[in-house]
Chain A
């Protein structure tokens, strides 16, 4: 799908909010993602990003500049055309009671959570990073949450999992590094747990079986087409 980069904002060092035009009219569900073809000659695969926000004619993603692919993407200028596959991933259609749901995000995992909380910012949420490097992103979003940093540079020192006990909930939606997702599973005593998974992907559309996670019965799920929202209690976090 051909799209145009409409706007690029550097929200924080190395973290960009990029907004593209979209021509397809398909509904976009929480947890879905898109993939961007980039101009790096060194790396060949598209890069997948959680759909951060969307409207009928626009779609935004949060891009953290890490390697060759994301560098090429964040070097794009407004007005440039882009080759984007959107939306990808299985639509998440479970009912969630916001008053009984705890949202947990680690680092750039905030992008995967943001699509769940489009309707209301009145939510129970814990956000965590290493050294407060996402401060500007959280400010930008205007979400009330417990913001924990491992370094203690923020108000709360520790990991997101240290603060789960402060909430009363029966469902968790979490997105972040695998260790965090595992930590959440260990602390919620089998409560309903939707893990928004991130995995290195080759195709993102179900062709290659490259982006698997393993379930407790030794079967695999594709993050790209069975997920990215999977049963966090059943995932084996190696």
Chain B
């Protein structure tokens, strides 16, 4: 009997594969394509305290082997989420994390206060790494000192599983990961997208109104693998790896380097059924490689 259960904080993942925030919608869009009893789970789109309209078009552009996006945290705000979306996701048969984004610390605290007594989700992924908003977002990720003051006290507000999603754009992310571990966070989601851009040669202008955008997809996998490897040396809490996961072997690579689970992002946009397919593929691959318990794989890289 092959064992694929993973524990992160208080959460048991039946499979070490989650849909990434921003590419999983609110879960209901994925239900048409996946049997949720057979997947690990998903992370919602970012929720902010107040409604956010999101960025002007264009918001996406395909690159060689990847995808640039500049969505801008579009969502209807936490009130709307509680009234209209939480009732829909509450009974879904998989693990659900809420991705929370904010522009001031007080907004994060308000959201957790409003959400925490409610049922129907497993924890939070605190997002300080969105590259697509002018304030808040990734600017919180640029200095370990800022992140420390921002995150202190958050652990006391909830007993649910607490993850922190970090950007690969700053060397400080590794230090922030260590600080989050000291504060009692249950895991680190690493990496968010890489900051990139594109130029329209006819008009000699940036393609995106915000100039920069986040790069994801197969193109970034080797970069995120290396970043996960570096983060593993810094922290001992679980890492949930993200970056270009497409196949079962991609999952295994990340886990051998020390990730406890992975998130699938861009590939979900290409193949919305990929969560269920990957979970099946992973078990088959484990059989091939005679791996009985996925936990024995984590951090088993030979150096």
- A residues near B (Cβ < 8 Å) are 37, 41-46, 83, 85, 199-203, 205-214, 218-220, 225, 238
Chain A nearest Cβ from B61, distance in angstroms: 8
Q: Within 8 Å CB of A225, what residues of B? A: 29
> Quick check: B71 and A208 within 8 Å, CB to CB?
yes
> What is the bound-complex CA distance between A211 and B155, given in angstroms?
37
> What is the bound-complex CA distance between A220 and B61, given in angstroms?
18
Chain B nearest Cβ from A157, distance in angstroms: 27
> Quick check: A207 and B25 within 8 Å, CB to CB?
yes
> Quick check: B272 and A238 within 8 Å, CB to CB?
no
Selecting from B51-59, B120-128, B146-154, the interface stretch reads B51-59
Selected contact of A209 from candidates B33, B66, B71, CB within 8 Å: B71
> Quick check: B62 and A209 within 8 Å, CB to CB?
no
- Residues of chain B at interface, number, CB under 8 A: 33
> Quick check: B218 and A205 within 8 Å, CB to CB?
no
Known contacts A202-B67, A220-B74: A43-B270 contact under CB 8 Å: no
Known contacts A44-B67, A44-B266, A202-B67: A207-B23 contact under CB 8 Å: yes
Chain A nearest Cβ from B284, distance in angstroms: 19
The proximity string for B residues 20-39 relative to A, scoring 1 for CB distances below 8 Å and 0 otherwise, is 00111100011011000000
> Quick check: B269 and A212 within 8 Å, CB to CB?
no
- B residues near A (Cβ < 8 Å) are 22-25, 29-30, 32-33, 45, 53-54, 56-62, 64-67, 69, 71, 74, 217-218, 266, 268-272
> What is the bound-complex CA distance between A31 and B275, given in angstroms?
29
Selected contact of B65 from candidates A44, A207, A208, A210, CB within 8 Å: A44
Chain B nearest Cβ from A90, distance in angstroms: 13
Selected contact of A37 from candidates B25, B30, B217, B270, CB within 8 Å: B270
Q: Kindly report which residue of chain A lies nearest to residue B219, judged by CB atoms.
A: A44
Known contacts A42-B65, A44-B218: A208-B60 contact under CB 8 Å: yes
Question: Could you list some 27 contacts between A and B, CB below 8 A?
Answer: A37-B271, A41-B65, A42-B64, A44-B65, A44-B67, A44-B218, A45-B62, A45-B67, A46-B270, A83-B271, A85-B272, A200-B61, A202-B269, A206-B25, A207-B29, A207-B30, A207-B272, A208-B25, A209-B45, A209-B59, A210-B59, A210-B60, A210-B69, A212-B57, A212-B59, A220-B53, A220-B54
Q: Within 8 Å CB of B270, what residues of A? A: 37, 44-46, 203
> What is the bound-complex CA distance between A206 and B271, given in angstroms?
13
> Quick check: A44 and B217 within 8 Å, CB to CB?
yes
> What is the bound-complex CA distance between A209 and B29, given in angstroms?
12
Q: Within 8 Å CB of A200, what residues of B? A: 58, 60-61
Chain B nearest Cβ from A64, distance in angstroms: 17
> What is the bound-complex CA distance between A41 and B217, given in angstroms?
12
Q: Within 8 Å CB of B33, what residues of A? A: 205
> What is the bound-complex CA distance between A46 and B272, given in angstroms?
11
Q: Within 8 Å CB of B60, what residues of A? A: 200-202, 208, 210-211
Q: Within 8 Å CB of A41, what residues of B? A: 65
> Quick check: B69 and A202 within 8 Å, CB to CB?
yes
Q: Within 8 Å CB of A214, what residues of B? A: 56-57
> What is the bound-complex CA distance between A200 and B57, given in angstroms?
10
Selected contact of B269 from candidates A43, A203, A213, CB within 8 Å: A203
Q: Within 8 Å CB of B65, what residues of A? A: 41-42, 44
Chain B nearest Cβ from A167, distance in angstroms: 31
> Quick check: A203 and B69 within 8 Å, CB to CB?
no
Q: Within 8 Å CB of B56, what residues of A? A: 214, 238
The 6 A-B residue pairs with the shortest CB-CB distance, nearest first, are: A203-B269, A210-B60, A207-B25, A206-B29, A202-B269, A210-B59
Q: A85-B272, A205-B272, A208-B60 are in contact. List 19 more A-B contacts (CB 8 A).
A: A44-B66, A44-B217, A44-B218, A45-B62, A200-B61, A203-B268, A205-B32, A207-B29, A207-B272, A208-B69, A210-B69, A211-B59, A212-B57, A212-B59, A212-B74, A214-B57, A218-B53, A219-B53, A225-B29
Q: Within 8 Å CB of A46, what residues of B? A: 270
Chain A nearest Cβ from B53, distance in angstroms: 7
